[in-house]
């Protein structure tokens, strides 16, 4: 039996999860144990335009961090690209009133 190549790949590790996928002016990340020593987050609008970027160093004991200052972004749907080391994670977010 031949197993398709995609079935043999290991699922990627989750770098972090968000407290909520709906935000107003702040994103709060809950870090996984496998999080890299640094994280980069890029927030893109529904057309793919980069609206905001954030980079931070992560301490081994750090469990969460906040990305403040997103209140100037227009309301709508965004894609968050989170990367650390070789891992990358995409999330769909909504900014609301």
List average pLDDT for each run of 10 residues in the chain, which is 97 residues long: 45 76 93 79 96 90 90 95 88 92
Please state, in angstroms and rounded to a whole number, the distance separating the CA atoms of residues 93 and 58.
23
The model's pTM is 0.78
Nearest to residue 16, comparing CAs of 51, 50, 41, 43?
41
CATH class label, 15-95: mainly beta
């Amino acid at each position: 039996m031949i197993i398709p190549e995609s079935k043999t790949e290991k699922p990627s590790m989750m770098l972090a999860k968000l407290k909520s996928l709906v935000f107003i002016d702040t994103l709060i990340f809950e870090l996984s144990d496998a999080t890299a020593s640094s994280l980069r987050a890029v927030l893109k609008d529904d057309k793919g335009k980069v609206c905001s970027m954030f980079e931070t160093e992560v301490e081994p004991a750090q469990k969460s961090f906040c990305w403040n200052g997103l209140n100037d972004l227009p309301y709508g749907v965004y894609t968050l690209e989170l990367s650390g080391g070789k891992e990358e994670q995409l999330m769909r977010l909504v900014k609301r009133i």
